[in-house]
């Protein structure tokens, strides 16, 4: 009996050790960021530019700047999708959707369609998509009643720092970095739009 009990204990110990040995204690290697660029022949750069503009408008990003000469396109910052705005598609992950529903978050997009080399003689044009995320930082308000709580995000309450009123100029949008997941989604949408666009008609040959 003693030998059997000893054998059971040894087997149990080995089983526990084997389980703990399977647990990795190393650092978790993050997944590589998704691609945010796409290259085409320089002759197709104008079609790619048009596809990018059309995609941004379809995604309800208001165009702020269109500079075809430098190949730069930017949008106005827009408040990100809340939980009830099911018709919008400006957040790419569940975490971003929840964050935008709980906090004032906005995003703006920067698109570049430029030669892939420093010189204008490059025969390749590269599309680059950058999505910038910002979070609103606003001073805390003082309120002493439940009715005043409804005015918390307005400009009629005094601040906790002693100001008589909190004005919109006191708000600050803090840079939260790039949204790589949304960049990948927009890039894929632009590529789909580019590939589905009709090819330009060939020039007429002289008679």
Condensed to tens digits (0 to 9), the pLDDT of residues 118-150 reads 655 578 899 999 999 998 876 555 555 555 444
pLDDT, mean over the chain? 75
Mean pLDDT, residues 177-190 taken together? 93
pLDDT at 23: 42
Span 34-136+172-196: which CATH code?
3.30.310.80
Across-strand partners of 65?
A: 74
Q: Using CA atoms, how far apart are residues 186 and 179, in angstroms rounded to an integer?
A: 11
Q: Is 4 helix (H, G, I), strand (E, B) or coil?
A: helix
pLDDT at 151: 52
Q: Which two tokens stand for residue 160?
A: 């906790």
The residue written with tokens 């099911």 in the block is: 86
Across-strand partners of 66?
A: 73
Q: Return the H-helix or E-strand segment holding 40.
A: strand 37-41
109-124 pLDDT per residue, tens = 999 998 876 655 578 8
Domain limits, the chain: 34-136+172-196
Q: Is the pLDDT of residue 29 over 50?
A: no
Query: Residue 113 in contact with residue 26, Cβ under 8 Å?
Result: no
Mean pLDDT, residues 45-61 taken together? 94
Q: Is the pLDDT of residue 18 over 70?
A: no
Q: Exposed, middle or buried, 201 (CB in 10 Å: 0-12/13-18/19+)?
A: exposed
Q: Exposed, middle or buried, 194 (CB in 10 Å: 0-12/13-18/19+)?
A: buried
pLDDT at 8: 46
pLDDT at 139: 56
Q: Which two tokens stand for residue 95?
A: 């975490």
pTM for the whole structure: 0.67
Query: Residue 66 in contact with residue 73, Cβ under 8 Å?
Result: yes
């Amino acid at each position: 009996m003693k030998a059997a009990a000893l054998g059971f204990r040894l087997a149990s110990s080995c089983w526990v050790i084997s389980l703990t040995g399977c647990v990795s204690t190393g650092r978790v290697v993050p997944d590589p960021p998704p691609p945010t660029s796409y290259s085409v022949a320089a002759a197709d750069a104008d079609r790619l530019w048009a596809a990018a503009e059309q995609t941004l408008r379809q995604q309800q990003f208001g165009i702020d700047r269109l500079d075809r000469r430098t190949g730069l396109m930017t949008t106005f910052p827009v408040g990100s999708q809340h939980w009830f705005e099911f018709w919008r598609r400006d957040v790419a992950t569940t975490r971003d959707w929840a964050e935008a529903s709980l906090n004032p978050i906005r995003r703006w997009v920067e698109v570049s369609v430029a030669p892939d080399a420093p010189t204008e003689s490059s025969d390749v044009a590269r599309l680059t998509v950058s999505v910038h995320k910002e979070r609103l930082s606003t001073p805390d308000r003082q309120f002493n009643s439940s009715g005043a709580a409804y005015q918390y995000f307005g400009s009629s309450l005094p601040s906790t720092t002693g100001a008589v009123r909190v004005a919109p100029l006191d708000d600050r949008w803090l840079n939260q970095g790039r949204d790589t997941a949304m960049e990948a989604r927009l890039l894929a949408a632009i590529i789909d739009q580019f590939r589905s666009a009709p090819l330009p008609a060939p020039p007429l040959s002289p008679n």
